[in-house]
Amino acid sequence: MTDLLDQALTAAVAKGAGREPATPKDIALAERSRAMPDELRRLYLASDGLQLGAVEVFDLDDYADVNGQEDLSQELPGAVFFGSDRADGFVFIDVAGSLGLGDGSVLWTDRSELSVDEAVPCADGLARFLSAVLRGDRPWTGRSIGQRATERLAQTIAAHPDRVDARPGLSDGEVGRICRERGLPAPFGLGDLVRVANGLRIVGSGQELIPIEAMSIAEGSDEGAIWVGSAPDGVRFAVTRPGWRGLPADRLIAVPPGGDIEQGVNLGRLAEVVANWIVAEATP
């Protein structure tokens, strides 16, 4: 009995998209750059690369070259890259589910925007990704992880107006103007949140995000973090810029009362943390 991956590979080869099968020795040599999951190993045993419309599955030489690039492994450490969109993007498998979408999920990333939040979910596994591409779909044109988080936050605010006092959001132009005037290097996710709500307060717990006009660079962070809010117990909140303390952009940092920014604890992706605050307030 064949499974979905077998069906997708058979269909791809039938369309003339396949190449000569790789040998186990060939695969072992390529895996010196990065180990591959079983389903990807099965693909290469069927064909050393594929040409599927807008997607090119790497041959093993390209697999070893791309996965051996240090900048890719640093920015997306759980990713195994296996193909491209023949333009500016790579597709990869999140082997350990570190991005929160499940083990083996397939995502797309722009080569110039190697960021967790900018990655676009494409499918819950390699077989479904190949099947979608064979149908002519282009799943990498969807919304990024960061965009989905911001959309969820907007929906959560709208669903619980009694639990959160939210100021009106700003336009793109207003956000850009304020950042320029204040010399504020706001990361994209923070800007997206301000477009949803330019400041908000959780009614029950009192956690607050201040308007962008009141935000400032966190002292001691070398411009790597921005003060964005506080809690009634004196905890201060900051948002990261890319690379600060090895973190992605738009991570919410909680700094204890009287502490400095280096003592801060990473709470998670800004929009998700705030949405969860609101949901927690709404839970009896």
- 251 in Cβ contact with 267 (< 8 Å): yes
Residue 56 has pLDDT above 50, yes or no: yes
Residue 2 has pLDDT above 70, yes or no: no
pLDDT of residue 282: 53
Residue 114 has pLDDT above 80, yes or no: no
User: pLDDT tens digits for 270-283?
Assistant: 999 999 999 986 54
* Sequence-separated (6 or more) residues with CB below 8 Å from residue 163: 202, 203, 204, 278, 281, 282
146-282 sits in which CATH class? alpha beta
- 194 in Cβ contact with 178 (< 8 Å): no
pLDDT higher for 100 or 154? 154
If you average pLDDT over every residue of the chain, what do you get? 90
In whole angstroms, what is the distance from residue 151 CA to residue 157 CA?
10
In whole angstroms, what is the distance from residue 34 CA to residue 65 CA?
10
Q: What are 280's two structure tokens?
A: 């927690």
Per mean pLDDT, which of 64-78, 165-179, 243-257 is the most reliable? 165-179
Over range 205-213, report the average pLDDT.
96
What CATH number should be reported for the domain whose range is 4-142? 3.40.1580.10
How far apart, in Å, are the Cα atoms of 179 and each of 161, 175, 197, 252, 281? Answer: 28, 6, 16, 19, 31
Residue 68 has pLDDT above 60, yes or no: yes
In whole angstroms, what is the distance from residue 76 CA to residue 61 CA?
21
The rounded Cα 54 to chain-centroid distance in angstroms is 22
In whole angstroms, what is the distance from residue 186 CA to residue 241 CA?
7
Residue 224 has pLDDT above 80, yes or no: yes
User: pLDDT tens digits for 145-201?
Assistant: 889 999 999 999 999 999 999 999 999 999 999 999 999 998 888 999 999 999 999
Over range 25-48, report the average pLDDT.
94
Which band of pLDDT confidence, cut at 50, 70 and 90, is reported for residue 236? very high
Which band of pLDDT confidence, cut at 50, 70 and 90, is reported for residue 1? very low
Residue 16 has pLDDT above 70, yes or no: no
How far apart, in Å, are the Cα atoms of 161 and each of 151, 188, 196, 248, 277? Answer: 16, 25, 14, 30, 13
In whole angstroms, what is the distance from residue 10 CA to residue 4 CA?
10
- 49 in Cβ contact with 56 (< 8 Å): yes
pLDDT of residue 51: 86
pLDDT of residue 17: 66
Picking from 48, 37, 113, 144, the residue whose alpha carbon sits closest to that of residue 80 is 37
pLDDT of residue 238: 96
Residue 284 has pLDDT above 50, yes or no: no
Residue 100 has pLDDT above 50, yes or no: yes
In whole angstroms, what is the distance from residue 267 CA to residue 254 CA?
7
Nearest-5° Cα angle at 207, 204 to 210: 130
Residue extents of the structural domains in the chain: 4-142, 146-282
Residue 246 has pLDDT above 60, yes or no: yes
pLDDT of residue 248: 83
